[in-house]
Amino acid sequence: AQSVSQHNHHVILSEAASLELGCNYSYGGTVNLFWYVQYPGQHLQLLLKYFSGDPLVKGIKGFEAEFIKSKFSFNLRKPSVQWSDTAEYFCAVKPYNTDKLIFGTGTRLQVFP
């Protein structure tokens, strides 16, 4: 079955630290890839997306992600986190032959000043 794995369930960082959140998926065909963020008390918001082309994708708020097809991975990175990045982050995959997004279980990020 198609699935998405987020290896880090809870990450705690100090401000200015670098961030990398792992995401791996199991699907051999063409995919769209997404990272969504959910700030406390708010709805899921799109952080960035990969449809095609350059595998290094830049999103809002200084986030970026790299699609490595050979590793079935789409890891999220940020060079220097801020307290305001405290949120839950969800990786999601959309296989070409379906209309639904398959989400990972999420990673809770806490950033301390």
Closer to other proteins at the Cβ: 62 or 95? 95
| Residue 46 interacts with other proteins (CB under 8 A): yes or no | yes
List, in order, residues 6 or more apart from 65 with CB less than 8 Å away. 33, 35, 48, 50, 56, 57, 59, 74, 75, 76, 77
Is residue 104 near other proteins by the rule CB under 8 A?
yes
Sign of the alpha-carbon dihedral angle for 63, 75, 68, 44: negative
Closest approach of Cβ 37 to other proteins, in Å?
11
Identified binder of other proteins from the candidate list 13, 59, 63, 94, rule CB under 8 A? 94
Note whether 22 binds other proteins by CB under 8 A: no
Question: Residue 88 and residue 93: Cα distance in Å, rounded?
Answer: 17
In whole angstroms, how close is the CB of 66 to other proteins at the nearest point? 19
For the beta carbon of residue 50, count every other beta carbon within 10 angstroms: 19
Tell me: does residue 59 bind other proteins (CB under 8 A): no
Residues that bind other proteins (CB under 8 A): 4, 6, 32, 34, 36, 42-46, 49, 51, 90, 92, 94, 96, 98-106
